[in-house]
Amino acid sequence: MSVASPSSDWDAGLCDCCKEPGTCCLVFWCPCIAYGQIVGTLPKGSMCCAGDSSSAAAGYCGLEVLGCLFNNLKRRGGVASQVVGSFGEAGVDVAEGSLVAVSRNRLRKKYSIREPDDCVHSDCVVAFCCSRCAMCQEEHEIHVREGTRRKPKTVLNAPTTIKM
């Protein structure tokens, strides 16, 4: 594990989601797997499931499924189902945002990334307002700090003519 200087910043900005297209696709289409990978890099004991990527991914996936169920209930029709569905969906959003905020804070501590100067860029605000972008930024940071960034494959072209 490489640790940065105490005053380092994130390598990529919050809105640099497409800096690594593969990571962007993973986070936006399979956030459970991305969250599991992030939590899997954290030291054991730093949070629930830290160091165990499959448990973290399963827990996040469970929240995603609950969100879908509450969303479905909300669309069913009656006032009671709409109220229960709306509150349930909001609860799931709060739970997911909380998980991302805590893992983001732990990642910040692991790599000694400085705290933001304003509350607008705090871990909680970023996790609740832009959780997918936050996970892209975290995944990118892990790739940079751990040296696990995938290198593009080199394609060798065959010669067009063969000399004899």
pLDDT per position as a tens digit, 94-138: 999 999 999 999 999 999 998 888 887 788 899 999 899 999 999
In a domain, 142, yes or no: yes
Domain contains 154: no
| Average pLDDT over all residues of the chain | 83
Amino acid 153: pLDDT: 42
**Confidence class for position 51, pLDDT limits 50, 70, 90:** confident
> Does residue 88 fall inside a structural domain?
yes
Give the three-state DSSP class for 97: helix
d(Cα 60, Cα 67) in Å, to the nearest integer? 11
Question: Tell me, what's the pLDDT at 138?
Answer: 92
Q: How many domains is the chain partitioned into structurally?
A: 1
* 5 in any annotated domain: no
Q: Which residues pair with 113 in a beta bridge?
A: 8
b/e 92-122 (16+ beta carbons within 10 angstroms → b): beebbbebbbbbbbbbbebbebeeeeeeeeb
Please report whether residue 3 resides in a domain: no
Summary count for the chain: helices (H), strands (E): 6, 0
Evaluate whether residue 63 is within a structural domain: yes
Contact between 146 and 2 (Cβ < 8 Å): yes
Measured in degrees and rounded to the nearest 5, phi and psi for residue 113 equal -85, 130
Q: How wide is the angle at C-alpha 79 spanned by C-alphas 74 and 82, nearest 5°? A: 15
pLDDT of residue 116: 83
Mean pLDDT in residue range 10-18: 84
For 161, the 3-state DSSP assignment is coil
Tell me how far apart the alpha carbons of residues 132 and 33 are, in angstroms, rounded to a whole number. Answer: 12
Residue 98 has a pLDDT of: 93
Domain residues for the domain of 75 are 17-146
